[in-house]
Structure 1
Amino acid sequence: MASENQRIEDELSYPILLAERIRKSVDEAESFKFECSEVWKQVDRLLQMLRTLVRFASTTPSLYEVPIRRVAAECSKNLERAVTLVRKCKRQSFLRRVVNIVSTADFRKVLNYLEASVGDMKWLLSIFDTDGTGGGGIELSLPPIASNDPILSWVWSFIASIQMGQLNDRIEAANELAAVAQDNDRNKKIIVEEGGIPPLLKLFKESALPSAQIAAASALCILANDVDGVRTIVNGLGVPIVVQVLGDSPMRVQIRAANLVARMAEHDPLAQEDFARENAIRPLVTLLSFDTFDDDHAGQLGKQSMHTIMQINRELEKKLLVTSSNRQFTSSYSNSYSHMEGSSRVGNHRKERENEEPEVKLKLKISCAEALWMLAKGSVSNSRKITETKGMLCLARLVEKEQGELQYNCLMTIMEITAAAESNADLRRAAFKTNSPAAKAVVEQLLRVIKEIDSPLLQIPAIKSIGSLARTFPARETRVIGPLVTQISHKVSDVATEAVIALCKFASPENFLCVEHSKAIIEFNGVPSLMRFLRRNEDTQLHGLILLCYLALHAGNSESLEQERVLTTLEGVDRTVISQHPAIKELVSKALVHLNLYHAGTHSQRMSYYP
């Protein structure tokens, strides 16, 4: 097969050259003349179709070349077989005729090969609509070259229609391609390998019809299910295209664009970075903030919060007045998005936004929240960008007033941001300062979810978020300790375990205020709850033991520790726990030494477990 870098016209010239050689060899044949003439009939049909294809290829600016190259390569192999066979029919010496024995079976075999190539060429010309009628459409017949894998011919036909067809055909083909991709991962891989992503991106970017953009985005979302699919989209300059559509489209299209951001960011960290460079976070936060704040809530957040909210509303108002000239997409992707923070294209669809149904607005917010969640996941830089765009206030407000999937996605976004803050001191200090209105609003809602909403699905990310922020709370901020201690007794084991893990971060020696926090945990009656937690099952013991040791180390003289016989409990720690987690052995030993300064234990047990 010729190189894919070779011009398609040059690649088609080789089988045409072979056909001309066959014509000459047929004229020179001395034996099997009838069979040679039958070969020429098939070759002549191929020759006419090849020339038609060359003319079409040379005059078509946007040509889908993948099936042409595949069919041309297969056609060349079959023509080479025909050349070899027909040349054996020339006048030769007796010895050469004995060595090169030719039979009618050889001709039948070659004729079958040529007939298959004729079928392939017919199919190829049908999907490209080379007669110029403009119909073409989707061709679901099966060419011989794809007889062992019918999906391949369908994929070729759909991609050709998306890339070269009329708009209605392109929409239909995009929907069909999405359906094929949804069947299994193998189909997705075939679509990516056969070049399906570039024409989908083109349809998504250039079409002025929302239904076309939705069809393209739906197919791209399905294909962006692994690193390879996402990288192909990224390499096709898909990130700036998605950000452009996100900023300047009707709501129903923006939903798909946000979904695509979420899928790409979920499967590829490099896509996360690319979206950050293209300032995708700003329009996502803007869309999420739309209709989120009201005057009553603004009054509740104090003067600084009020100022921030009014600033957001002013930004939204400016964005809604952006002129349609901003729709123009320049050839330089990096330059065209450098000013996205100051001039979103959302305003071009103000009327559509105002008239949209509440269900559509809700879906858009759900999609934007999920996209922010995936962009923030494991990324300190993206988490910082979200906090810099006033996204934290918006997330806190939505957690307060919304329910269901939107509330969950916002909580998961907060959880990822707080996790990033836990690992990065600069982000922690910048975004979660004690006097920060956004930080206060977030913490208030996290505590409300932990205390008031009996849903493990929501409580777990809220608890994790509070735990990640453990080093940001001053000693006087004991109100965050009480709800966590209460959840140690939660009937759902996962919620109780997350509460214990979060409290470990408060009581850990790495926390500067570990002594004060440990005392607060004990004051909120944490020790009895923790002792009951340890009796639940072996799977939860490790984190419970770690917290118990921290409490013993930082508040060993507490009466609660003596009343609950913590010393005896630590002395009786199962050997299997220690053997499975060697790091706990040293911690338990230190806790025992510290407790022995204040409480009397069972010496025989200590000798038994710690020789």
Structure 2
Amino acid sequence: MKWLMGVLDTENNGTASGIFLSLPPIASNDPIISWVWSYIATVQMGQLTDRIEAANNLASLARDNDRNKKITVEEGGIPPLLKLLKESSSADAQIAAANALLVLANEQERVRSIVDEMGVPIVVQVLGDSLMKVQIPVAKLVVRMAEHDPVAQEDFAIENVIRPLVTLLSFETFVEDSKTHLGKQSIHSIVQINKEMEKFSSAGSTSRNYSYRPYSNSYSNLHMEGSSRGGNHRKERENEKPEVKLQLKINCAEALWMLAKGSVSNSRRITETKGLLCLAKLVEKEQGELQYNCLMAIMEITAAAESNSDLRRAAFKTNSPAAKAVIDQLLRVTKELDSPILQVPAIRSVGSLARTFPARETRVIGPLVTQLGNKDQEVAVEAAIALQKFASPENFLCMDHSKSIIEFNGIPPLMRLLRCGDKAQLHGVVLLCYLAIHAGDNEALEQARVLTALEGADRTVVGQHPDLKELVTKAIYQLNLYHTGVHPQRQLFAP
């Protein structure tokens, strides 16, 4: 008790930081606890400069090891850090609090502690209302929390974090675009652009109603309290250094990626904003980490669309400008960029959308077939997997797509893929089987000796993957039907 009274006696200590010099008796066997207690007490009750220093010291301690992180959370460090993040008028204090929370939020249980302390609405509020240099670590905090905890991932979406993220990500993007193309737009198009710009005009705006609510509410939440503060920050944003703007966009794109990952509902929420079109524009204009994060976000959204027909029909209609922009950029990255780290998510995204393309839309098939021969085996395998989704029996247009793959001369690189590693061989065999089943009468299959290759695969690949036995047998049977004059004895195979 004497030690505790000493903590509160700032007059004799001079400053609150003086309390760090003594250990409480209860902590004599574990000095870290006394440091944590002292820092937490100062974050809660100290002067502003001391609170900032204490938050930074908590972050430094937590970086050392997970035990220090656990102690900080167990001893009540999260509430004062959230209070400092929310209430402080100091950008430095908010940054210190955000960084400390960011260090703690690397594991599900600790993220859940932040969620339980009503941290999600506080983070969303600060993300919308703060300076760019504050928004950068706060957006990173959204990334970390959504990455490690599905509850946080969903709560962020419910609290409408997607809208300020898209707003910050689209800052300047659509302004430049509308200026560039203004002379080419119809009156109707200009009106639509103006409407969209109005939705995003208050970059800092977000709802202050923290009760859980359906996302399907009107856009009115965007212009509730905070609009004036958002407006005040707009000029500061415009005058900010380019590297600061870039880092914020990188973090916002990564946040959308983590929010969309494995979540149909969050992917739908992103597509219901300007998010999809914004991601496509940034893939077109940017490079490096920002371009990569945008591609990964698109990959997660398209994966969700693949698993959910309603989302697929709503977000990726053939006449949708956003969907068209996304497809154009995915194909551009696939064809023009010699970068496997970018080509893989682009190819995977095209494959996820295989069921959205009509038979006449063969422009997506050619680039994928070309990548079957890519010198990077991972890219070639991804191309084979994507083409499988076009030729699979689950695709209503599988026969048309199979013929297109062959017409684009897909058989030779596919046969070469069979001579690569196990994974390449596996996916090459699956794709060959689909082509044989749906376009077995094509002469290209006979000329490439596909039947012989599949018979060899029946002895090798099927041994390692018994679940392929039925598929390979059916493909061999189908090829025999069309080449009975050459190999009459092979009619003995039956599916």
Instruction: State the TM-score, normalizing by the size of structure 2.
Output: 0.92
| Secondary structure of the structure 2 residue equivalent to 1:290 | coil
User: Which residue in 2 is equivalent to 1:127?
Assistant: 7
Identity of aligned residues (%): 68
Match of 1:198 in 2: 79
Structure 1 match to 2:376: 492
The residue aligned with 1:15 is none
Contact 1:239 1:275 in 2 (8 A): yes
The letter for the 1-side match of 2:120 is V
3-state SS of the aligned residue for 2:16? coil
Task: Write the distance in 2 (CA, Å) between the matches of 1:550 and 1:482.
Answer: 17
Tell me which of 259, 275, 281 is aligned to 1:397.
281
- CA distance, structure 1, for counterparts of residue 311 and residue 323 of structure 2: 12
Question: Which of residues 390, 406, 410 in structure 2 aligns to 1:506?
Answer: 390
Quote the Cα distance in structure 2 between the aligned partners of 1:531 and 1:301. Answer: 47
Contact 1:233 1:239 in 2 (8 A): yes
Q: Which residue of 2 is the match for residue 242 of structure 1?
A: 123
Task: For 1:129-168, list aligned pairs within 5 A.
Answer: 129=9, 131=11, 135-137=15-17, 139-168=20-49
Separation of aligned partners in 2, 1:321 and 1:367: 16
8 Å CA contact 2:128, 2:204 repeated in 1: no
What's 1:71 paired with? none
Residue 462 of structure 1: CA displacement?
0.4
Q: Report the CA distance between 1:464 and its aligned residue.
A: 0.6
Contact in 2 for aligned 1:552/1:594 (Cα 8 Å): yes
Deviation at 1:581, TM superposition (A): 1.7
Distance across 1 between alignment mates of 2:413 and 2:480: 22
**Deviation digits for residues 147-199 of structure 1 (CA, Å, limit 9, x no counterpart):** 33222221111111111111111100111111111112221111111111111
CA distance in 1, matches of 2:373, 2:284: 25
Please say if 1:413 is aligned against 2:294.
no
Structure 1 residues 593 and 574, CA, compared in 2 at 3 Å: closer, same or farther? Answer: closer
Q: CA–CA distance in 1 between the matches of 2:98 and 2:51?
A: 13
The answer for the alignment partner of 2:108 in structure 1 is 227
SS in 1 for 2:173: coil
SS of the residue 1:511 aligns to: coil
- Matching residue of 1:369: 253
Query: Residues 305, 479 of structure 1: CA spacing in aligned structure 2 closer, same or farther, 3 A cutoff?
Result: farther
Q: Is the 8 A contact 2:108 2:148 kept in 1?
A: yes
Residue-by-residue CA offset, 1:450-489 (whole Å, 9 max, x unaligned): 1111111111110010000000001011000000011111
Aligned to 1:564: 448
* TM-superposed deviation, 1:522: 0.4
Q: Which amino acid aligns with 2:399?
A: V
The Cα shift of 1:407 comes to 0.5
- Given that 1:248 and 1:348 are in contact with CA atoms closer than 8 Å, whether structure 2 keeps it comes out as no
Q: Which residue of 2 aligns with 1:470?
A: 354
The corresponding residue for 1:459 is: 343
Task: For 1:321 and 1:177, locate their aligned partners in 2 and report how far apart those are by CA, in whole Å.
Answer: 29
Tell me the equivalent position of 1:261.
142
Considering only CA atoms, is the larger Rg found in Structure 1 or Structure 2? 1
CA contact (8 A) 1:571 1:605 kept: no
Deviation digits for residues 75-109 of structure 1 (CA, Å, limit 9, x no counterpart): xxxxxxxxxxxxxxxxxxxxxxxxxxxxxxxxxxx
Question: 1:493–1:419: structure 2 CA closer, same or farther, 3 Å change rule?
Answer: same
Instruction: Indicate conservation of the 8 Å contact 1:200/1:220, yes or no.
Output: yes
RMSD over equivalenced CA pairs, Å: 2.6
Distance 1:153 1:352, change over 3 A: same
- In structure 2, do the counterparts of structure 1 residues 320 and 154 end up closer, same or farther at CA, with 3 Å as the change threshold? closer
Cα separation, 2, equivalents of 1:485 and 1:513: 17
Shift, 1:302, TM fit? 6.5
User: SS of 2:399's equivalent?
Assistant: helix
Q: Distance in 2 between the 1:587 and 1:308 partners?
A: 50
Aligned positions of 1:420-439 closer than 5 A: 420-439=304-323
Match of 1:540 in 2: 424
Q: Are residues 209 and 599 of structure 1, via their aligned partners in 2, closer, same or farther at CA, if it must alter by over 3 Å?
A: same
Aligned to 2:169: 288
Question: Which stretches in structure 2 are left out of the alignment for 5+ residues?
Answer: none
293-302 or 274-283, larger mean C-alpha shift:
293-302
Is 1:341 the counterpart of 2:222? The answer is: yes
Give the residue type in structure 2 aligned to 1:562.
E
Letter in 2 for 1:129: D
Alignment of 1:183-194 (within 5 A): 183-194=64-75
Q: Indicate which of 459, 463, 480 corresponds to 1:579.
A: 463
* One-letter identity of the residue aligned with 1:368: C
Question: Alpha-carbon deviation of 1:144?
Answer: 4.0
Query: Could you tell me how far 1:228 is from its partner in structure 2?
Result: 0.7
Give the equivalent residue in structure 2 for 1:449: 333
| Residue in 1 that maps onto 2:91 | 210
TM-score by length of 1: 0.75
> After superposition, what is the alpha-carbon deviation per residue over 1:355-404, rounded to whole angstroms, capped at 9, x for unaligned?
21111111111111111111111111111111111111111100000001
How many angstroms does 1:605 deviate by?
9.3
Letter of the structure 2 residue corresponding to residue 427 of structure 1: L
Distance in 2 separating the partners of 1:448 and 1:370: 21
Q: Is the 8 A contact 1:549 1:588 kept in 2?
A: yes
Instruction: Tell me the alpha carbon deviations over residues 45-87 of structure 1, each in whole angstroms, 9 at most, x when there is no partner.
Output: xxxxx4xxxxxxxxxxxxxxxxxxxxxxxxxxxxxxxxxxxxx
Q: Aligned in 2, Cα 1:371/1:191: closer, same or farther, shift over 3 Å?
A: same
